[in-house]
Amino acid sequence: MGSALATPLYFRHRIADPDPTVKKTMALRPYIVGNWKMHGTRAMLGEARAIDRAAERLMKAEVALAPPFTLIHATRKEADLIGVGAQDCHPAEGGAHTGDISAPMLKDAGASFCIVGHSERRSDHGESDGVVKSKAEAALNAGMSVIVCVGESEAERDAGRAEDVVLAQIEGSVPRGEGVADSVTVAYEPVWAIGTGRTPTTDDIAAMHSAIRNKLVEIFGNSGEGVRILYGGSVNPDNAGEILAIEHVSGALVGGASLTAEKFLGVIVAATGDQRD
């Protein structure tokens, strides 16, 4: 990590006014995203505040939180430094879709990124790759970046089909187009590792991330080299250091261990080797 990353002002500048000239350096920092799922009322805003305050000292990581829709606006107001995003969006800009939330609404509430295609959305709501891609496009059109989630089931891994499944999901879910690679992150989350305390071996993670990298280069050409690939599934303070050291692992999507500042900061510290004071 370059010493230029050690100043909080630099971090503030990036959030307030993204500067393409520093993008390459920033991409070297691990991107650690907390996914709060359907957890959190306003009583949890203190955790977001504590994470944000600590983020100023944890300059070696880019930190973001995806709270439930109902907390996006409040979290954005609490947090100056970390990214705040959404866990899903509807593909349409607006319309007669009772109970749904559009990407422009999320952007208006303060979200700067949107997770799409999480396996819980794919399984609970039957979201196909095509739907996930439309959601990603909607988020990009609204001016947000996207985290597109992919991952195989345990049966698919046991059948030796993990890589085929994941690459097919990427083929079908990742949006295309000029400049899109700059705003897309892929999260590889094996379904069987989510919330179970089980993780793939480092060799398996390395093999999958390398296959995903090749696929992204096939899709985006050279720009595919810069697309961040997160690992997700039972990341915690004890395994984050090892996982984040794997080649082509650019960060982590963290569920359970992001729900308290204590644990989430533990993940960030382990991922970056940084000191918390």
Q: In this chain, which of 40, 91, 200, 232 binds ligand PGA, going by CB under 6 A?
A: 232
The strand ranges marked E within the chain are 31-35, 62-66, 83-86, 113-116, 145-150, 184-188, 228-232, 251-254
Of 39 and 57, which CB lies nearer to ligand PGA in the complex structure?
Answer: 39
Q: In this chain, which of 52, 189, 212, 231 binds ligand PGA, going by CB under 6 A?
A: 189
Q: In this chain, which of 85, 91, 251, 256 binds ligand PGA, going by CB under 6 A?
A: 256
**Candidate segments 11-19, 50-58, 216-224, 250-258, binder of ligand PGA by CB under 6 A:** 250-258
Q: Which tokens in the block code for residue 60?
A: 């070696």
Dist CA 159 CA 153 (whole Å): 10
Dist CA 49 CA 261 (whole Å): 9
Question: Shortest Cβ distance from residue 22 to ligand PGA (Å)?
Answer: 28
Question: Shortest Cβ distance from residue 140 to ligand PGA (Å)?
Answer: 21
Is 195 near ligand PGA (CB under 6 A)? yes
Catalytic-labelled residue, pool 118, 120, 127, 152: 118
**What is each CA distance from 207 to 104, 133, 170, in whole angstroms?**
37, 24, 16
**Candidate segments 43-51, 94-102, 212-220, 226-234, binder of ligand PGA by CB under 6 A:** 226-234
Of 112 and 236, which CB lies nearer to ligand PGA in the complex structure?
Answer: 236
Computed over its alpha carbons, how large is the radius of gyration of the chain? 17
Of residues 10-39, those binding ligand PGA (CB under 6 A): 35
**Candidate segments 55-63, 87-95, 205-213, 252-260, binder of ligand PGA by CB under 6 A:** 252-260
Is 234 near ligand PGA (CB under 6 A)? yes
Is 235 near ligand PGA (CB under 6 A)? yes
Specify whether 247 is catalytic: no
**What is each CA distance from 163 to 99, 110, 202, 255, 261, in whole angstroms?**
35, 35, 15, 23, 34
Is 114 near ligand PGA (CB under 6 A)? no
Catalytic-labelled residue, pool 47, 163, 189, 209: 189
Of 103 and 257, which CB lies nearer to ligand PGA in the complex structure?
Answer: 257
Residue nearest to ligand PGA (CB): 255
Q: Where is 241: in which H helix or E strand?
A: helix 240-244
Cβ burial 107-145 (10 Å sphere, 16+ → b, else e): bebbbbbbbbbbbbbbeeeebebebbbbbbbbbbebebb
The position carrying tokens 């295609």 is: 117
**Candidate segments 46-54, 165-173, 220-228, 231-239, binder of ligand PGA by CB under 6 A:** 231-239
Going by the DSSP 8-state scheme, the letter that residue 27 receives in this structure is T
Specify whether 97 is catalytic: no
Q: Which tokens in the block code for residue 95?
A: 């319309």
**What is each CA distance from 139 to 73, 179, 216, in whole angstroms?**
17, 14, 19
Question: Would you please indicate which residues are annotated as catalytic (active-site) residues?
Answer: 118, 189
Q: What are the residues binding ligand PGA (CB under 6 A)?
A: 35, 189, 194-195, 232-235, 253-257
